[in-house]
Structure 1
Amino acid sequence: MTRDAILRAAEAEVSVARNAPLPRPGLPMVTLVRNEMALLPPFLAHYRDLGIGHFFILDDASDDGTAAYLGAQDDVSLIVSPHRYGDPVTQADYPYAGPVRPGMRRNNLWKSLLLARFVGEGWAAQCDADEFIHLPPGTDLADVADRLDAQGANAVWAAMIDLYPRQARDVLGGGAADPAYFFDGTRHVTLSGRRVPRHRYESARHRLAVTAGVARPLPFHRRMQLRLVGRSQGPSGTLVKQPLVRWHPQARHLTAHVTTLDRPSRSVLLPLAHYYYHHGTGAKLDGILASGGYNKGNAAYRRLAAVLTALDGRGIPLTCPLSRPLDGYAGFAATGNAAGL
């Protein structure tokens, strides 16, 4: 598909509700949000500090004040779509992607077209509102892009590290308003010559689901395979992403985590702190489970609610002997979850 045709598809799918009046020098960021007011202020502040100068944020019909808040930010262009996250994608919507898989989510289409329309060619960040890249002190995302350019790379992988507070009530409500966060302090993924890094750990998400009785423990041979050899996916799915990409209009997202960019760095691994369990999750869960519209009938969110409710009811903490306090890039590097910077 030609560049002009891709841009026409982008203009039909997403439109600008408000241009940023005062974007700053720096890299662009593309983000999709729905009802993320608990995280948006720290998210924007975090990435401004990492050198993002212009945010292109598609709001998926939020009803918690997200759109009004974003509309008041000088460096945010607010983007909207006539469709919803859970709407099916047809071949006509995504003509340059090859065969559209059954059940493909709209977010894959949106991310590709946002980057094509508002970035075109060049480096850009693409993170969700609950994903926070950590870098060494004094380093910003432009520095990382320069290093990747020197390597001839057009993307970088990040390990998604689930963060959590001490107690389920800190997530569901009724606990600490500003809790301390922890992560499982063991190596989660390793870079390899394969297309996707190798998963080496089950993830805190799976650990907590097993503790709550919502998931089964991995068989011994699977645990050993993860630790010693690695797998392309963990028991909770693909927990790696490409949060910094050198885009071009013909590139696209194959999934929410994997793009067609074919030269990711083989030496740089970024840590992506993932606030899967945060102090605003409980309120968000209530809205999601009441309204629907997410993938597979809200299955992931129904599972998350079941895990948190079970752990809270039994007084079981989210922390475990592996837990380590969130302490920035140094902590992720010390546990094998960051490299190359």
Structure 2
Amino acid sequence: MQPLEFKDVGAHLELIGPAVDPERTTVFSIFRDEMYFAPAFFDHYRSIGVTQFIIVDDGSTDGTTDYLDAQPDCIRIRSDLRYGDPIEVRDPEGKRKKTRAGIYFKGAIPLFLMPGRFVTYVDADEFLLLPPGVATIGALAEHLAAAGDVAAVAPVVEFFPRDLSAFDDPRPPANLADLLRASPCFEAEPLLKLAPGAVRPEFVAPSKSMALMARFGIEPEPEAPKGWLNRLLGRSPAPQPFGSPRHKTPIVCHSAETYMVGTHNTNRAPSATVMPVIAHFVFTAQFAAKIRRAMDWGSYANGSRKYHGYARLLAAMAEAPDAFLSPASTVYEDPRQLIDCGLMLWPETPASAAPAQNV
């Protein structure tokens, strides 16, 4: 079978709802059974200027499909490819790579539907936080364009509660404020360092998930030997460490010259002076349910192996007081804190002299 190219993606899509308008401020995402987050997701992104949502519905069965169809500013996409389907892709430079359909969608669909336009990609549990004084994603995109930048990187900052008792309230959040009431804390320390001309950021700290795994002694399980000789000799590969994203490139002007490479990076250097933040709400009341779904689906990276680790982490944290907290844990109040601790960059807002208030 010939590898798929970005231009081939249209043959695998059915668009349902209003026509795509390239002039609108647009968020693109891939949903599967996301009714817990969907109302808060739409509320938040509308509040920061999004007027068009393009959502791939990856076979939802929990009411997400009907919810998306009821949103007047949403184009729902149905595809004959599922997120976890293994495929081979030839990127715009001709490089061939084996990947999953969902990763292909992240690069191919925005380029196919909105070439030459800035599009924001985020998952359903990811809420973009803008710099102080920047009211909309459109204003941030205009700043990037004026500076000649084609993309902006963002650290993926995991928000969390004090302990597992916060999971007792099963009510879905209606907005970002509800999410922050339940999971108000973040680690006030930089995750990334940007350098002019660098395609990828330098990592300077582990994600919250990986820090918790290390703190509670959650190690990757050994993998089964691959190949008949290795099985015969009982040789197993070294366990691969758990992965948890510390960054994404959520805002990209997709074109023939600028495109996604994998799920987190573009082929060209992003801005070295603009860095918003993705607030990632991993640890919520539906965390246990998400772990079960991910393990059943097996469609995330490496067969969703990270979620097997999360299941063991939850069990280990169950009896620990203030299980999530570390010396750097801080209650979120406003984006100025993110500037002050180096998580966010915005050239027009220098850091203040006020120290962050730890928990």
Q: Distance in 2 between matches of 1:175 and 1:336?
A: 32
Residue 68 of structure 2 corresponds to: 70
Overall identity of the aligned pairs, in %: 25
Q: Secondary structure at the match of 2:29?
A: strand
How far did residue 245 of structure 1 move?
A: 1.1
**CA offsets 1:24-49 (integer angstroms, 9 cap, x no match):** 97411111111211111111111111
How far did residue 315 of structure 1 move?
A: 4.8
> Which of the residues 305, 322, 325 maps onto 2:328?
322
Q: Secondary structure at the match of 2:214?
A: helix
Contact 1:20 1:77 in 2 (8 A): yes
**CA offsets 1:8-30 (integer angstroms, 9 cap, x no match):** x12122221x2237989741111
**Are 2:280 and 1:285 equivalent residues in the alignment?**
no
Contact 1:119 1:247 in 2 (8 A): yes
Residue 265 of structure 2 corresponds to: 258
Amino acid at match of 2:330: R
Contact 2:190 2:205 in 1 (8 A): yes
Q: In 2 relative to 1, CA 248–95 (structure 1 residues): closer, same or farther, beyond 3 Å? A: closer
Q: Distance in 1 between matches of 2:155 and 2:111?
A: 25
Residue 130 of structure 1 corresponds to: 125
How far did residue 305 of structure 1 move?
A: 1.7
Matches within 5 A, 1:1-341: 6-7=6-7, 9-16=8-15, 18-20=16-18, 26-91=24-89, 94=90, 96=92, 98-102=94-98, 104-135=99-130, 136-170=132-166, 173-174=167-168, 177=171, 179-193=182-196, 194-215=198-219, 236=243, 238-249=245-256, 251-260=258-267, 262-315=268-321, 317-340=323-346, 341=348
Q: What is the alpha-carbon root mean square deviation over aligned residues?
A: 2.5
**CA offsets 1:114-152 (integer angstroms, 9 cap, x no match):** 102221221111111111111224521111111111211
Contact 2:20 2:75 in 1 (8 A): no
Q: Distance in 1 between matches of 2:285 and 2:326?
A: 19
**CA offsets 1:235-270 (integer angstroms, 9 cap, x no match):** 84551111111111454321110122x242111111
Contact 1:23 1:76 in 2 (8 A): no
Q: Secondary structure at the match of 2:305?
A: helix
Q: In 2 relative to 1, CA 176–77 (structure 1 residues): closer, same or farther, beyond 3 Å? A: closer
Contact 1:115 1:249 in 2 (8 A): no
TM-score, length-normalised on structure 1? 0.83
Q: In 2 relative to 1, CA 96–150 (structure 1 residues): closer, same or farther, beyond 3 Å? A: closer
Amino acid at match of 2:122: C
Amino acid at match of 1:268: V
How far did residue 290 of structure 1 move?
A: 3.0
Q: In 2 relative to 1, CA 25–101 (structure 1 residues): closer, same or farther, beyond 3 Å? A: closer
Residue 238 of structure 2 corresponds to: none
Point out the more displaced range, 173-182 or 279-288: 173-182
How far did residue 166 of structure 1 move?
A: 1.7
Residue 225 of structure 1 corresponds to: none
TM-score, length-normalised on structure 2? 0.79
Amino acid at match of 1:205: S
Amino acid at match of 2:69: G
Q: Secondary structure at the match of 1:101?
A: strand
Q: Distance in 1 between matches of 2:276 and 2:12?
A: 31
Q: Distance in 1 between matches of 2:93 and 2:314?
A: 37
Contact 1:163 1:273 in 2 (8 A): yes
Number of equivalent positions: 312
Q: Secondary structure at the match of 1:337?
A: coil
Q: Distance in 2 between matches of 1:198 and 1:147?
A: 23
Amino acid at match of 1:267: T
Point out the more displaced range, 251-260 or 52-61: 251-260
Q: In 2 relative to 1, CA 175–208 (structure 1 residues): closer, same or farther, beyond 3 Å? A: farther
Gaps of 5+ in 2: 172-177, 221-240, 349-359
Amino acid at match of 1:252: Y
Amino acid at match of 2:218: V
Q: Secondary structure at the match of 2:265?
A: coil
Contact 1:85 1:105 in 2 (8 A): yes
Amino acid at match of 2:51: G
**Which one has the largest radius of gyration?**
2
Gaps of 5+ in 1: 217-233
Contact 2:199 2:269 in 1 (8 A): no
How far did residue 161 of structure 1 move?
A: 0.8
**CA offsets 1:177-210 (integer angstroms, 9 cap, x no match):** 5514211111111211322111111121111101
Contact 2:210 2:244 in 1 (8 A): no
